[in-house]
Amino acid sequence: MRLSARATFASVNVLIKQIRDYINSWNTTAKPFTWTATAGEVLAKVRLVATNVKKLVNNNAN
């Protein structure tokens, strides 16, 4: 089951039912998530992104 971000719904109750159906479907077929990156690798990427965001902000401030 897939929910579309651009879907239209007849009412809020229909939307709520679709969301609940999606969650129930997801939970029925859920599988454990296994991290493949080390904490150090994740933190290195976070630092890289933070540095790049700071550069963008500084470049756009001028």
**Domain for residue 41, yes or no?**
yes
**Domain for residue 5, yes or no?**
no
**Domain for residue 4, yes or no?**
no
How many domains, the chain?
Answer: 1
**Domain for residue 51, yes or no?**
yes
**Domain for residue 8, yes or no?**
no
**Domain for residue 44, yes or no?**
yes
Q: For 21-45, what is each residue's pLDDT tens digit?
A: 999 999 999 999 898 999 999 999 9
**Domain for residue 29, yes or no?**
no
Q: Which domain holds residue 55?
A: 37-62
- Which residues of 1-62 form beta strands (DSSP E)? none
pTM for this predicted structure: 0.46
**Domain for residue 50, yes or no?**
yes
| Residues 19 and 3 sit within 8 Å (Cβ to Cβ) | yes
- The 10 Å Cβ neighbour count of residue 15 is 14
| Cα–Cα distance, 13 to 29 (Å, whole number) | 25
Task: Give how far Cα 9 sits from Cα of 14, 21, 35, 42, Å.
Answer: 6, 14, 36, 39
Q: Does 1 score more than 70 pLDDT? A: no
